[in-house]
Structure 1
Amino acid sequence: MTGAVPAFGARLRALRLAKGLSLSGFAGRVYYSKGYLSRVENGLQQPSAEFVRRCDAELAADGELVALTAPPAADPAPARTETGEDGLWMMTMTPDGENAFQPLARREVLRGGAAALAGLAAVPAAAPAFRLRDSLRHHEQLLAAARGLGQVAPPRSVLPMLVGQAQSLRAVARQAGGSAAVEVARVFARTAEFAGWMTQESGDTAAALWWTAKAAEVAASTGDRDAASYALVRQALITLYAGDAATTVDLARQAQVGEGTSRRVLGLAAQREAQGHALAGNHGECLRALDRAAGHLAAAKAERTGGPVVGTTHVPDPVAVVTGWCLHDLGRPREAAQVLDREIARIPENAVRARLRFGVRRALAHAAAGELEHACELAQGMIAQGAAIGSATVLADFRRFAATVRRWSAHPAVRALEPGLAALRYR
């Protein structure tokens, strides 16, 4: 980024002057100080990502300014590649509620000696088909319960349930054969996918990638195209939060290639692609991806005949809230705030995590639009929930909000909010 600062500043000035905008006038339109804008244009200040996207939108640069400052696409954090079923899974829990998960390859297990080897149970005898069906039904109910708990509880309190369930499904798989084995594998893949999401929410990107890879591996082995594609959508969320627009778009597009993927997963993949385009400042591609998402998800809703639903079930119109998300990243905070105001009111009160995730984005959009007092009022009502829910992705957005409002550090509303925001920064 440092080397790109002079080039960005020079191009920003050229575009501003071409629009006939004075330094003061343009600073007022993007809600940044005249001094900050001057330092950026002269190559003396590294611009924030928020500032770059806002300038790009105001000057109708269609991603040109974003591209000047974008970091090169990077590979995601390395996943734990030893995902074979011959390993040992270690789940540790302390009396204060902290926990950690660690998969060990067979060679690591052997190094661990007799204590580790004692954890590798013998393969049990095959179970009757009716017992397997009963077992799977209960596992599906447990997964649904874990998803519900994930809306109101910290991810670290949900993870032990999911790890235990995945381990139990490994044991069930050893008893199954034929079509029953395929059904067990499908439930396992969905459990692993959700474990990956909860692990990402707890802040462990490497473990999240391990679970996502495991879900994709098992789904592919059974021909479950939906689970394999949705694992790519989840992986794209990891790269989205890492700020890697190009990889996010690439993964989301991979999830939309090939036959056998349901309309719902195609819609969720198109949504993620739109978020990647928004991060890159590509307004046209973003809107086209959102249109595809809306079409796929509407068709999926009309065709639904029962069974588990992939992705969120707590947001009435996922495309609408993602549109608000994208508008903010495209540097259109006022439009984003209008959309999010409307859509968050439709999310059920018990969907705490979903309301919080999009609620912080809503506050961020209002702040970026210069509606400072309202933004601080919205944030104040979510700080306690943000501390309780323990979501790494929500806390990342709180930090973005704090960086935005800190530009008005002397404002009474910002000063009143600062102690709560400071507490969240150190969680």
Structure 2
Amino acid sequence: MFGVELRRRRVAAGKSLMALSGDLHYSKGHISKIETGMKQPTAQFARLADAVLDADGALSRLVPADLPDTTSQDDPLVPLWDLPQLRVSRTAAETVAEDDATEQLLRAQFDGIRDMGKRLAPELVIPALTAQIQVVQAVLRGARNPETRRRLGLLAARSVEYMGWMAQEAGMQEESKKRTMQFAALAVAAGDPGLASYGLVRRAELAMYVGDAISTVELAQRALRDPHADARIRGLALHRLAQGYAQRGEYSLCRAALDDAERALDESSSDAGPGGPVLGSSTIADLGAVVAGWCLYDLGRPAEAAELLERALSRTQPEARRARALHGARLALAYEAAGELDRMCETALQALEAARPLGSTTVRSQLSRLSWAVQRRHSHRPARELHVEIIAALHDDPV
């Protein structure tokens, strides 16, 4: 019965098995076996399918209701992977989960870890984040109150999403994709399919950084088609869409996406996101200027790009090292392309100073591009000296 209904709704939505596989993060073969009745769906699978196919719980109702044991390894709200579980007694976990102060402490700890991520190398942040997720796992197993479980589930999802970002910064692309998909599944399990659509935005960002413009545009468009996505997520998806179009050299489409993003973000509240801090960058005061500047550089308009990036960086706090390093390197690239070599050198040296303690792969990707660009300016002595500094930074060995 479930398989027949799943196929009916998939066909009505105009989705192929391959498309649904990408949406649900299950293999095409697995979904095919469920549709033909060869495999029984889990409750988690049904919830994901409900959200993707906008079935309003119809598919979940076809799966036998079986209340989960909160200590079970199959608890859909507990992020399970290769992390050792903390050995906490059921009584202790239940007592801690019932204490309102527990959630506040866990949120404060998460905020502190995010502050670490602005200043430190991801390899130094990941162990603290791992411990945070292990504690949330343990408390979730003891939580009985549905609202408490929902809030902790969202916090778990946000923590896993941040783990994906730190993995990206550490150069672990496959690990980053894996954590991002886990984040989306956890968000749906916690009852927030809209938050899950942010996983598509993050995957679009991953594709953008490796120069995969086709995937960047496709993933951003999928996020925009999600009826559950709120204004903030739509705005961030439109930013990724604009960057994908810029990589493809499509100015008009890029400009339209930037304008739509500005309107969407104006509609949204940037105070906080589901389960934690605001989604996307919390350190860039003028996010629209940064993204527009990034796009204009790819569109061959470096002078305009430099003006916008300079404006945004002037409003970025000094302690936001990661943002200053990444967008400072991009600004130096824009100055180089615009022929403003003295400003290029000045900006690049500031970006290098911010980048040194970070070990960021995304920053290194921009510094690598800058290294190649600076080489052609060999007749400019400061540029030659800058090239030496960039090469030294790129080949800095781990301790």
TM-score (norm 2): 0.75
Residue 206 of structure 2 corresponds to residue 211 of structure 1? no
Structure 1 residue 161 corresponds to structure 2 residue 128: yes
Give how far 1:297 is off.
0.8
Instruction: State the alpha-carbon separation in 2 of the partners of residues 373 and 239 from structure 1.
Output: 32
* Distance (Å, rounded) in 2 between the aligned partners of 1:211 and 1:305: 19
Flag the 1:180–1:317 CA change in 2: closer, same or farther, 3 A: same
SS across alignment from 1:408: coil
Question: Is the 1:189–1:216 Cα contact (8 Å) retained in structure 2?
Answer: yes
| Structure 1 partner of 2:150 | 182
Which residue in the other structure is 1:275 paired with?
A: 243
- Measured in 2, the distance between the counterparts of 1:199 and 1:167 equals 17
- 8 Å Cα contact 1:203/1:392 also seen in 2: yes
Aligned residue for 1:389, secondary structure, equals coil
- How large is the Cα RMSD of the aligned pairs? 2.9
| One-letter amino acid of the structure 1 residue matched with residue 387 of structure 2 | E
Residue 54 of structure 2 corresponds to none
Residue 410 of structure 1 aligns with an amino acid whose one-letter code is: S
**1:8-61 deviation per Cα after TM superposition (whole angstroms, max 9, x unaligned):** xxxxxxxxxxxxxxxxxxxxxxxxxxxxxxxxxxxxxxxxxxxxxxxxxxxxxx
Does the C-alpha gap of structure 1 residues 305 and 251 become closer, same or farther in structure 2, counting only changes over 3 Å?
A: closer
Long gaps (5+) in structure 2: 1-21, 28-43, 46-71, 75-79
Q: Report the TM-score when normalising by structure 1.
A: 0.70
Q: Return the letter of the residue paired with 1:355.
A: R
What residue is the counterpart of 1:345 in the other structure? Answer: 314
Question: 1:211 deviation in Å?
Answer: 1.1
Deviations 1:152-192 (A, max 9, x none): 11111111111111111111111113222111110000011
| 3-state SS of 2:225 partner | coil
- The amino acid of 2:111's aligned partner reads A
Which residue identity lines up with residue 131 of structure 2 in the other structure?
G
Per-residue CA deviations over 1:108-146 (Å, capped at 9, x if unaligned) read xxxxxxxx8xx6747724614873532211111111111
Residue identity opposite 2:90 in structure 1: P
* Rounded Cα–Cα distance in structure 2 between residues aligned with 1:222 and 1:210: 18
Q: What pairs with 1:5-154 in structure 2 (closer than 5 Å)?
A: 86=73, 103-104=81-82, 121=87, 124-125=90-91, 127-128=94-95, 131-154=98-121
1:389 aligns with 2:355: no
Are the structure 2 counterparts of residues 130 and 284 from structure 1 closer, same or farther at C-alpha, using a change threshold of 3 Å? same
C-alpha change, 1:144 and 1:120, in structure 2 (3 Å) is closer
Aligned residue runs from structure 1 range 220-299, under 5 A: 220-299=188-267
The aligned counterpart of 2:283 is 314
Equivalence for 2:161: 193
Structure 1 residue aligned with 2:294: 325
Q: How far apart, in 1, do the equivalents of 2:141 and 2:280 lie?
A: 28
Return the letter of the residue paired with 1:159.
I
Q: 1:380 to 1:259 in 2, by over 3 A?
A: same
2:328 to 356, 359, 365: 359
User: What's the offset of the Cα at 1:222?
Assistant: 2.2
Alignment correspondent of 2:15: none
Counterpart CA distance in 2 for 1:358 and 1:103 is 34
The answer to whether the 8 Å contact 2:374/2:387 transfers is no
Amino acid at match of 1:124: R
Q: Which runs of 5+ in 1 are unaligned?
A: 1-75, 88-101, 106-115
For 1:234 and 1:341, how far apart are their aligned partners in 2? Answer: 25
> Are 2:96 and 2:139, in contact at CA under 8 Å, matched by a contact in 1?
no
- Aligned equivalents of 1:317 and 1:339: distance in 2? 9
Query: What displacement does 1:342 show?
Result: 1.4
Q: Hey, what's the Cα distance between the residues in 2 that align with 1:277 and 1:287?
A: 9
Aligned pairs, number = 324
